[in-house]
Structure 1
Amino acid sequence: MITRSIDEFRTRAAALEPSAPGCARGAFLVTPHGFHLAEQSASDNRYMAMDAGVDANAALAEHAALARRVSGVLPTVCFPGDASTPDAVFPNNVFATAPDRLIIGRMRHPVRQREAERPDIRGFFGELFGYDEIDLSTIDGVAELTGSLVIDRARNVGYCGLGERCDEAGAAAMHEAFKLDLTFCFDLAPGEYHTNVVMSVLAGRALVIAPDGFADPAVPPAIAAVYAPQTLVINGRQKADYAGNCIALSDDTVWMSERAAASLGEAERAMLAAWGFRVEAVALAEIEKAGGSLRCCVGEIY
């Protein structure tokens, strides 16, 4: 089922129990070669620091450290970046996986549509892994994959924020491509571009959510009820520091940037620890100038 009804979502979600692994079995990243800020993306991404200078070498160093750290938890592969596609450092919006499937997104901006044409990532999953390819890049809609769609893999439930980067046609296409049992669609608040900036499901058992990222104030409590009492509510400042752009790369770790981790108070860290999550923080100050953070950098392999 795909629905915009809060009541329908509550009814269906209450019947779904975790039945699959909540974390990926591998990760893929794209290096920030020729790192700079894409003006097209800035038109609907208020998190980009367009007035700030960027240091391409510093971005490469940050990314190398991230890849090294992630590889200590999951098998990790890095694909080369390209200065003509500067946003490629955030591959999860363009390429995503489900068991035996590679899904290619429909990006809003031409600078990102070029990423979807990469033969190396397509070939890696298609020829080496033998995954079926589901190509949404030519659909009549916008579907920026796991930027717009936060998936609880354990329950096979998707949370899809509608806005500039995803419309109803895109949401329907992703629901089918990921073979989800339930997708809950809702409008993001004006100015929000991706759902994975305002919420994250951690290993299918906890939730991080910023209520002010949603147009309808009734939506966050409805989602939180699925994970109660293990819900960490963050405020607008913490959201702006990318605390919502976090990811559980294992059942006992939640990964975020150093900036995001610094925004959490002792009580919030204690909550995560009580739920079995150790915070792993990685310095990403240069990369974050491009309007995304750690979760955006990590493509998951299922």
Structure 2
Amino acid sequence: MTILSARPTSPASVDAGLVSQALVRQALVSQAVVSQAPAAVLMVRPHHFRPNVEECADNHFMSLPTLTPTEHARRAFDEVTAMAEGLRALGVEVELVDDIGTATPDSVFPNNWFTTHADGTVVTYPMMAPSRRLERRVDVLDLLHDRYAVRRVLDLSEAERTGRHLEGTGVLVLDHVHRVAYVGRSDRTDETVLQRFSEEFGYAVVLFDTADRTGSPIYHTNVLMNVGTDLALVGTSVIAPADRPRVLDSLRDTGHEVVELTMEQLEDFAGNALEVQGSQSRHLVMSARGVGSLTAAQRATIERRVPLHAVDIPTIEHAGGSARCMLAGIHLPRR
């Protein structure tokens, strides 16, 4: 694993053999069309949505709802439906599937259990909460096989058996074009599994420490940062001071303009956004709550690069995730 960012007490290290493998993988991927903003996404419409008590220990972005369970689930269903319709109106292709389980309260966040890649690979990931492991669905993989050019499925989920986790693009904020993975350390990020990912895809890894208001690591990297085509939103204040310059240098070296977010804005989910490709232009999808937390100057900087598309998902956000978590980007070639 090529590490561009390490703990302050450890020098950055590069293994020549792994770099060679990375270059081979990068050469293969270079034959495919790689875009940072996916033109298609997969979403899951929930029928039994609720904040997941199994996630409370380290997900400090969760909040308790005041609605009845039935009303909470109904509103979540409606929010996902409206969000999918809004994206389709922009020209984004939305693969909308319905949740088929009753014990999968977080199914609305499919980006954690699988990712897709321009070389035709689908990756499935090891999840920390037992209930989240039930979200992995053969029928979803079959749908991808049917509609897209899937070359292989790389299953990393076996790591769960030994207590190791790597929760997809929750913990991996991927720059697909420059092949850099930004990763915050947490209980949901196992560095052995991360190394396997790095070797398979030739991604350099920017690994860093974070701390929320309690001093605990932030559970998912995608809550604190988003990387688009030429713009990045980053909660710099929650990144360890020793790591912060390396994260920012990497982003700027790859041509990204950086918008720095405060802790308060992260808590309003302004960092949990995803750039998508519509029929006419790219759009940055962010919750209405996140957009509302932006200053006028931040919003102007963002919209010079990419239009904001606000989605109203207050019920979903009780579970500690937001717009980006709801979108599993599809980077596979079409059949």
Provide Cα deviations, 1:227-270, integer angstroms capped at 9, x if missing partner: 36711000010000000001111363211000000000111111
1:213-252 counterparts in 2 under 5 A? 213-214=238-239, 216-225=240-249, 226-227=251-252, 230-250=257-277, 252=282
CA contact (8 A) 1:2 1:185 kept: no
2:321 is the counterpart of 1:292: yes
Take 1:165 and 1:126, find their aligned partners in 2: how far apart are those partners?
A: 28
2:86 is the counterpart of 1:86: no
| Aligned residue identity for 1:247 | L
CA contact (8 A) 2:112 2:169 kept: yes
2:128 aligned residue (89, 102, 108)? 108
1:145 aligned residue (163, 168, 175)? 168
2:83 is the counterpart of 1:66: yes
CA contact (8 A) 2:5 2:243 kept: no
1:210 alignment partner in structure 2: 235
CA contact (8 A) 2:171 2:188 kept: yes
Q: CA deviation at 1:212?
A: 3.0
1:105-144 counterparts in 2 under 5 A? 105-116=125-136, 118-131=137-150, 132-139=152-159, 140=162, 141-144=164-167
1:156 aligned residue (171, 179, 203)? 179
Classify the secondary structure of the residue corresponding to 1:122: helix
Classify the secondary structure of the residue corresponding to 2:107: helix
CA contact (8 A) 2:48 2:105 kept: yes
CA contact (8 A) 2:4 2:246 kept: no
Q: Find the structure with the greater CA-based Rg.
A: 2
CA contact (8 A) 2:113 2:127 kept: yes
Of 219-228 and 25-34, more deviation after overlay is shown by: 219-228
CA distance 1:92–1:49, change in 2 (3 Å):
same
Classify the secondary structure of the residue corresponding to 2:106: helix
Q: CA deviation at 1:58?
A: 1.1
1:186 alignment partner in structure 2: 208
Q: CA deviation at 1:172?
A: 1.4
Aligned length: 291
| Aligned residue identity for 2:63 | A
CA contact (8 A) 2:175 2:227 kept: yes
Provide Cα deviations, 1:148-173, integer angstroms capped at 9, x if missing partner: 00001121111112211112122113
| Aligned residue identity for 2:328 | G
Take 1:170 and 1:27, find their aligned partners in 2: how far apart are those partners?
A: 25
| Aligned residue identity for 1:222 | R
Q: CA deviation at 1:184?
A: 1.6
Take 2:165 and 2:58, find their aligned partners in 1: how far apart are those partners?
A: 14
For structure 1, list consecutive stretches of 5 or more residues without a partner in the other structure.
Answer: none
CA contact (8 A) 1:284 1:293 kept: yes
| Aligned residue identity for 2:236 | P
Take 2:5 and 2:329, find their aligned partners in 1: how far apart are those partners?
A: 29
Classify the secondary structure of the residue corresponding to 2:286: strand
Of 50-59 and 32-41, more deviation after overlay is shown by: 50-59
Classify the secondary structure of the residue corresponding to 2:218: coil
| Aligned residue identity for 1:201 | V
2:53 alignment partner in structure 1: 39
Q: CA deviation at 1:8?
A: 4.7
2:43 aligned residue (29, 39, 64)? 29
Take 2:282 and 2:97, find their aligned partners in 1: how far apart are those partners?
A: 27
2:22 alignment partner in structure 1: none
> What TM-score do the two structures reach when normalised by structure 2?
0.81
1:200 aligned residue (222, 226, 232)? 226
CA contact (8 A) 1:102 1:126 kept: no
CA contact (8 A) 2:125 2:157 kept: yes
2:308 is the counterpart of 1:279: yes
CA distance 1:155–1:119, change in 2 (3 Å):
same
CA contact (8 A) 1:25 1:74 kept: yes
Take 2:221 and 2:256, find their aligned partners in 1: how far apart are those partners?
A: 21
1:49 alignment partner in structure 2: 63
| Aligned residue identity for 1:207 | A
Take 2:198 and 2:210, find their aligned partners in 1: how far apart are those partners?
A: 18
Take 1:64 and 1:124, find their aligned partners in 2: how far apart are those partners?
A: 19
Of 130-139 and 92-101, more deviation after overlay is shown by: 130-139
CA contact (8 A) 1:105 1:143 kept: yes
Classify the secondary structure of the residue corresponding to 2:157: coil
Q: CA deviation at 1:186?
A: 1.8
2:188 is the counterpart of 1:165: yes
| Aligned residue identity for 1:69 | G
Take 1:20 and 1:147, find their aligned partners in 2: how far apart are those partners?
A: 20
| Aligned residue identity for 1:3 | I
CA distance 1:267–1:130, change in 2 (3 Å):
closer
> What TM-score do the two structures reach when normalised by structure 1?
0.89
Take 2:256 and 2:167, find their aligned partners in 1: how far apart are those partners?
A: 30
